[in-house]
Amino acid sequence: MSNINARLLNILLIVPSYACTSKTGGGQRTLLIFNALKLMGKVDVLVLDYFGEAEFVSESFMDAHFYSSTKLLACAEIGAWRFFRPLFPNLLDKLARTFGATKYLYLADSHAVVTTKKLLSKSQYDVVVGRYLKPIAQSGILDLTNAPFVLDLDDSDDAVIKSKLGRRELSVIKKLALKHQLKQTISILEVMLPKFSHVWLASDSDLQKTPHRSKSVLPNIAYIPNNKVSIHPLPEALNSKVVLFVGAFAHKVNVEGIERFITHCWPKIKAQVTDATLRIVGSGGWEDMRQKYTHDKTINIIGFVEELEDEYQNAAFTVVPLFEGGGTKIKILESMFYQRTCLISHHAQYGYEKLQHRESLLVAKNEAELISGCVELLTNPNLRETLARNGHKSVVSDYSTAQFNKIVSDAIKNFS
C-alpha cells in the first residue's frame, strides 16, 4: 500500500440491504461511496440481507468487480430467544430487538461469516469499507483479516437511539428499554471504534462527539443519477402554491413527521392560503396512506414518481417537518440543487449548519414556526427566489461530488 497512486486497489465494501438503492437517502450515500471507491480500484460488494431484499438491490452494483449477498439471522434466532422463536417468530423478533441484549446485534453472524470467508479466500483486500457499524461487525471480517478498515458511521448508533427517546408518545416501558439500549450501545462503540483505521462522520457535530484517532467529515450530498450529467437549477415557479414533501415511506420518521404536519399545521396554513396544496412523493407505500386523506382535496399523496425534476419544477418550495431520526436529511440538498428553497425543522438542519436561516432556507423551531414559515413562503415568491438562489450556490460550493470523492480518496491514502 506504500504506492497507492501507482496501482488499483482491491476494495471490499460491506453494506446493509436497506441502504442500497437510489430511492432512499441512505442508499444514495452508499452509491456515492461506491462510485468514489471505483475511482480507486476494483470494488467487491457484500450485501448483508436483513429483510430478503438482496435480489432487488443487486442492480445497484452491476459494475462491481464481484457482488455477493447473505441472509442474516433474525434477532430472535440469536441467544436464548432462538428456543422459542418457532412459536411466535415476528413477535419474538420485535421483543428481542427491543428488550434483548444489544451486544448480540453486533456479533458475527454465522451465515455472514461463511460468505465473508469465501470472499477473503478469493481476494487479498487492501482496504475494507463498511456502511454503518452493525453490518461490518455482523460480517465477521473484523476478526478475519489484517486489512485496514474504514467505517462510514453516518447515523451513529447511539444518536439514533437518542433521537427515538425524544418521541412524545413513548411509553414508560419503551423509554426504559431505549435507555438500556443506549447505555449498552455507548459501551459497544467504545470497544469497537478503535478497530477502524479511519471513521467518516456525516457532520461537524458528529465529528466532535466521536472520539477516534483518525476521522473526517464525509457530508451527505445530493445524488446525481447515472443518466444525468448534472442537476441544473430550475427557474422559480413564481405562481406556484405547491408545498412539496419528498421522502421514502419505509423510513418511519418520514411518515410520522408528515402526518404530524398534516394534523397540526396544514389546517392553519390552508386557512390563510386557501389555494395551497401539499404534495407528497417518494418510494414505498405512500399510496396506502392516501385513503386516510381523500376528504381533503388540498393534500395530494402521489407516492413513487419516475422523474423528481418535474416535481421540483412545479413546487413553490419543499418542507422537511421531521423532529426526530438520526443523520442528515439528504433531500434538503437535493431540493437546493434543483434551486427550490426549503422550510425545515430545527432538527432537520443537523449537519447542514452552513445553510443558514433566512439566507438559504427557513428553519422552524416548532409547529407554530412551520405554519408561519409556510404562509410566508407561499405568499412571498421573491423571498423564495432569493433563498433558493443562495441555497443553490452554497450547495454547489460546499457539497459537490468532486469534494465527496476527494474526501474518500484522501482518507484511504492517509492511513495507508
> What burial letters (b/e) apply to 346-359, b meaning 16+ CB within 10 Å?
ebbbbbbeebeeee
Contacts of 394 (CB under 8 A, 6+ apart): 336, 354, 355, 360
- Give residue 1's pLDDT: 42
Q: Can you list the positions of beta strands (E) in 104-241?
A: 127-131, 149-154, 198-201, 215-217
- Give residue 360's pLDDT: 95
- Give residue 4's pLDDT: 47
Please determine, for residue 145, whether its predicted confidence score (pLDDT) is greater than 50: yes
Q: Can you list the positions of beta strands (E) in 232-369?
A: 242-246, 277-281, 299-303, 317-320, 342-345, 362-364
Most confident listed range (37-41, 71-75, 218-222, 223-227): 37-41
- In tens, the pLDDT along 280-305 reads 999 888 888 888 999 999 999 999 89
CB 189 within 8 A of CB 157: yes
**What's the burial of 291, exposed, middle or buried (CB within 10 Å: 0-12/13-18/19+)?**
exposed
Lowest mean pLDDT among 25-29, 164-168, 340-344, 376-380: 164-168
Using the structure block, give the residue that is written with the C-alpha cell 433521537.
Answer: 163
Mean pLDDT for the chain?
90
Confidence of residue 377 (pLDDT cuts 50, 70, 90): very high
CA distances from residue 191 to 195, 211, 287 in whole angstroms, order as listed: 8, 11, 43
Please determine, for residue 38, whether its predicted confidence score (pLDDT) is greater than 70: yes
Phi-psi region of 177 (alpha: psi -120 to 50; beta: other; left: phi over 0): alpha
Alpha carbons 65 and 72: distance in angstroms, whole number: 23
**What's the burial of 20, exposed, middle or buried (CB within 10 Å: 0-12/13-18/19+)?**
buried
Lowest mean pLDDT among 11-25, 34-48, 165-179, 258-272: 165-179
Angle between helices 25-38 and 401-415 (to 10 degrees): 60
Using the structure block, give the residue that is written with the C-alpha cell 495507508.
Answer: 416
Angle between helices 252-264 and 367-379 (to 10 degrees): 80
Average pLDDT of 81-96?
90
Confidence of residue 154 (pLDDT cuts 50, 70, 90): confident
Question: DSSP letter at 155?
Answer: S
Nearest to 109 by CA among 155, 65, 69: 69
CB 225 within 8 A of CB 22: yes
**Residue 25 CB: number of other CB atoms within 10 A?**
25
Alpha carbons 72 and 109: distance in angstroms, whole number: 7
The grid coordinates listed for 60 are 445497484
Confidence of residue 230 (pLDDT cuts 50, 70, 90): low
Query: Can you list the domains of the chain with their CATH numbers?
Result: 4-72+109-221+401-415 (3.40.50.2000), 242-398 (3.40.50.2000)
Helix, strand, or coil (residue 302): strand
Question: What is the model's pTM?
Answer: 0.83
Average pLDDT of 187-192?
95
Angle between helices 172-192 and 89-99 (to 10 degrees): 70
CB 145 within 8 A of CB 18: no
Average pLDDT of 363-372?
96
Alpha carbons 47 and 41: distance in angstroms, whole number: 19
Average pLDDT of 234-257?
91
Alpha carbons 321 and 396: distance in angstroms, whole number: 24
The grid coordinates listed for 246 are 419528498
